Structure 1
Amino acid sequence: MKVLHFCHSFWPYYGGTGEIVGNLVLSLRKKGIEGEVVCFRKSIDGKVYESGKIKGIKVKRLNLFNLHKVYPIAPGAVKEFFRKDIDIIHIHTTGFLADAALLLKPFHRKKVVVSTHGGIFHTKEPIILKKIYWTFSSLTFKFCDKVVAVSKNDFDIFKKKTNKIVTIENPISLEFKKIPKKKKNTFMCMGRISRNKRVPLLGEVFDLVGKKVFVAGNAEGENKKELEKHKSLDLLGFVGNPKRMSLYKNSEYYVSAASFEGFGLGLVEAMMASCIPIVQPNNAFKTLLTKKEGFFVDYSKTKKAADEIKKIISMSEKKKNELRKECFNKAKTFLWKNKVNDFIKVYDEVLK
């Protein structure tokens, strides 16, 4: 079996969907399933990368232009759909790549699997754009052999388009063998700084708390000067693997004011590192987290949120250790070795 994976960005940019795709290909390889990746030359970090091999994975990079910033188009993808050496096309995004693969399915005759990753529906794009895309994709998704929802929230959205849908929550590659020691009252958040993350709001709250937050991720659509107004925010920019591991290992708490998440990969990675979550109660986080593992705080109520956080961080070491253990055990269920067979089952089903 050979699977051709499509996504927007891929390694050497680490994080997001590209990280998931790379680890899926490597995990499938251990099970005897071949895979290659097709992505855009221009990555999320703004850098342009060339085709080649990364970690033994063949990567084809395509030129693109934006019909709209949420609908990048890469005409070169069409040629890849018609390759004779592949059995399955797996699209790890909604938008042009999924729509083109599905509309052309009667011609290329490949099985098509689409992973949701939130799609346009986790952005703050105008409602009219979402309605237009909802109507259009309701037609294209009828041709899909299987939709993989990465969260319960995505499942609830996309089940209205098709009954050929299954939930496989995003696995994580970051693994700790034991609970690491923490630096007291250290806070972090992880992920690209997009509007739905509400990092300025996080800054407002932690200015009142009087503690620093290490913010790992590239700014996207945010005014950097606005973020720099908040003395509590330590903007690290893009953080590669060694520094990322160290940040998770040392941080006592993981914080997020995100109004929406497609899944919440950063939260699960933080739980694997036994960081105690203090996060916004959005739908994705409420699916991943219970009161046994962490805390929900409404960051939009800045003064109340700050007071709640001050109270949380004053808890006893015994309580902290209980929460860390619960986080660690919950996150282990998301490791790739415990999830890869779910993807193989999907592939086997569509090839029947």
Structure 2
Amino acid sequence: MKILSITPTYFPEVGGIESLVRELAMRTASHGFRMDVAHVSAKHEAFSVSEQDGLSVYRVPVAGNRLVGYARGLGRLAAGYDLLHVHDPQLMMLTGNVLLQCRRVPALVSPHGGFRHTRQHGAFKWLHEHLLLRRLLSHYRKVLPGSDSDLAYFSGFSDNIEKCEPGVNCSKFEAGILTAAPDPTRWIYWGRWSRNKRIDAVIDTVAMARDRGIAIDLLIAGPDFDKLGAGLQAKIDGLGLGGSIRMHPYIDDAALLQELRQRTVFITGSEYEGFGIGIIEAMAAGKIVLCRDVAPINGFVDRGATGFFLDFEAGERDLAVLREVTGLSAERCRAMSAAAQLKARRHDWDWVARRFTEHYAQALAGTDASAAMRPR
């Protein structure tokens, strides 16, 4: 079976969707499937194709933007595949083009939480949810939310739905396990710089710690998705945290793993996650996690065993957590690191990829189940 994975973002961009699409495309080959990638984005100036990781990666330009636009050539590309796996958090531009150009090709969708995770464009999102969402999802043979909270939400708009959690390349991130002596004041955030990640709240937390006599060394790394870098750097400078926080707007795998080997704590102020791949990656690297007590990410973190929860309100409760975290002994840090790794392994790609391929076969069962399982 030939599958085309259609995504709004892809490697070398860094983030949860990029990681999932790349790993899934590489891992399905061992199950007898061929998956290529269509990276559909207004950032592309022209249609192009390249070979990466043994996959064909198509860059499909969009006349418009990530919400509304026309992806010229997507239909011709999709016609050569048996099944489409659409990764569409907005359920707008990508799904619109699939409906317009690729209607005859069976498809399933991973909504990755949808785009209800920020308060921006509230009226537009209300109209989208109440007038369009059910109709848009009805095209797909399967909707594959990645968490219990997303399953509960999207079940209100689709009957062809089943939870399918993403995987994590645990072996890759296990190479980032601490090699230096544990130091719970050395922190890292890596991932997309977007508004819902609330990196500003992480900076405020470091400032509060500094003001209470706790010195934190924080690295903030990742792609500047929402063009926040200049504002975040200005905030750091304005708070006098230049000696405590370093920003790295892009970091390759080798440099990231080197940094991970020197850091003990992963922190994220994210207010919403469709799944929370970044947290699982951090746990695979043996990092103690600091995050909000919100679903679904609070399902990964066991307080005091693999991480701790913060309100990110600079209050006394947060201060007490910071004192507890930064006061952890080396022995306790190592024990929490080992517990984090053990929990992360439940999401390893070795068995997650198999579950996705089962969904692919089921999605095609109505047309030709035997052909669905026959590799090409």
Instruction: State how far apart, in whole Å, the 2-side matches of 1:92 and 1:126 are.
Output: 21
Q: Could you tell me the TM-score, scaled by structure 2's length?
A: 0.84
If asked which structure has higher relative contact order (CA below 8 Å, sep 6+), I would say 2
How much has 1:64 moved relative to structure 2?
Answer: 1.6
Separation in structure 1 between the aligned mates of residue 134 and residue 250 of structure 2, nearest angstrom: 36
8 Å contact 1:121–1:130 — kept in the other structure?
yes
Q: Judging changes above 3 Å, is the alpha-carbon distance between structure 1 residues 20 and 48 closer, same or farther for their aligned structure 2 residues?
A: farther
Superposed CA offset, 1:289-341 (max 9, x none): 22232111111234542342122221233322221121010111111112111
Which residue is equivalent to 1:265?
A: 277
Aligned to 1:25: 25
Distance 1:80 1:170 in 2: 29
TM-score by length of 1: 0.90
Q: Secondary structure at the match of 2:162?
A: strand
Match of 1:54 among 52, 55, 67: 52
Paired with 2:314 and 2:147, the residues of 1 have a C-alpha distance of: 27
Does the residue aligned with 2:116 lie in a helix, a strand or coil?
helix
- CA RMSD in angstroms comes to 2.4
Match of 1:147 in 2: 143
Q: Is the 8 A contact 1:122 1:261 kept in 2?
A: yes
* 1:158 to 2:171 alignment: no
- Kept after mapping to 1: 8 A contact 2:15/2:278: no
Q: Structure 1 pair 206/307, CA: closer, same or farther in 2 (3 Å)?
A: farther
**1:95 Cα deviation from its structure 2 partner:** 2.1
The amino acid across from 2:158 in the alignment is: T
Q: What's the offset of the Cα at 1:11?
A: 2.1
Does the C-alpha gap of structure 1 residues 238 and 42 become closer, same or farther in structure 2, counting only changes over 3 Å? farther
Task: Rate the CA distance shift 1:165–1:256 in 2: closer, same or farther, 3 A.
Answer: same
Residues in 1 aligned to 2:245 and 2:176: alpha-carbon distance in whole angstroms: 29
CA contact (8 A) 1:14 1:240 kept: no
Q: Deviations over 1:89-113 (max 9, x none)?
A: 11011322123324666xx422111
Return 46-55 or 180-189, whichever deviates more: 46-55
- CA deviations on 1:230-277 (whole Å, 9 max, x unpaired) are 413311111111112222232101111111122211111110011001
- Per the alignment, residue 211 of structure 1 pairs with 216
Corresponding position: 1:127 with 2:117: no
Are the aligned partners of 2:189 and 2:266 in contact in 1 as well (CA < 8 Å)?
yes
Distance 1:314 1:49, change over 3 A: farther
Equivalent in 280, 283, 301 of residue 292 of structure 2 = 280
Distance in 2 of aligned mates of 1:345 and 1:299: 40
Report the CA distance shift for 1:320/1:158 in structure 2 as closer, same or farther (over 3 A): same
Which deviates more, 25-34 or 313-322?
A: 313-322
Q: Percent identity?
A: 19
1:50 deviates by: 4.4
Structure 1 residues 242, 49: CA separation in 2 closer, same or farther (over 3 Å shift)?
farther
Output the CA distance in 2 between the equivalents of 1:64 and 1:30: 32
Cα deviation per residue 1:111-151 (whole Å; 9 max; x = unaligned)?
Answer: 11100112211233222121122121211211210011122
Instruction: Write the distance in 1 (CA, Å) between the matches of 2:353 and 2:162.
Output: 14
Structure 2 counterpart SS, 1:192: coil
Structure 1 window deviating more from structure 2 (148-157 vs 300-309): it is 300-309
Q: How many residue pairs get matched?
A: 345
> Contact 1:8–1:40 (CA<8 Å) still a contact in 2?
yes
Distance 1:167 1:228 in 2: 43
> In 2 relative to 1, CA 221–177 (structure 1 residues): closer, same or farther, beyond 3 Å?
closer
Q: 1:14 to 1:126 in 2, by over 3 A?
A: closer
Instruction: Name stretches of at least 5 consecutive residues in structure 2 with no aligned partner.
Output: 210-214, 366-376
Which one is further off, 315-324 or 240-249? Answer: 315-324
CA–CA distance in structure 2, aligned partners of residues 150 and 77 of structure 1: 29
Q: 1:65 to 1:305 in 2, by over 3 A?
A: farther
> Which letter does structure 2 place at the counterpart of 1:79?
G
The answer for the alignment partner of 1:118 in structure 2 is: 113
- 1:81-230 map, 5 Å: 83=79, 85-93=80-88, 94-102=91-99, 108-134=103-129, 135-175=131-171, 176=174, 180-182=178-180, 183-184=182-183, 185-209=185-209, 210-219=215-224, 220-222=226-228, 223-224=231-232, 225-230=234-239
Q: Does the 8 A contact of 1:62 with 1:74 survive in 2?
A: no
Distance, in Å, in 2 between the alignment partners of 1:286 and 1:328 is 16
User: How far apart are the structure 2 equivalents of 1:76 and 1:322?
Assistant: 53
Determine the structure 2 residue equivalent to 1:324.
337
CA distance in 1, matches of 2:347, 2:83: 24
CA distance in structure 2 between the aligned counterparts of 1:27 and 1:41, rounded to whole angstroms: 24
- Does the CA contact (< 8 Å) of 1:192 and 1:218 recur in 2? yes
String of CA shifts for 1:140-195, please: whole Å, max 9, x gaps: 21121001112222212111111211112221124227954344121011111111
- Partner-residue secondary structure (3-state), 1:161: coil
Structure 1 position 13, deviation (Å): 2.5
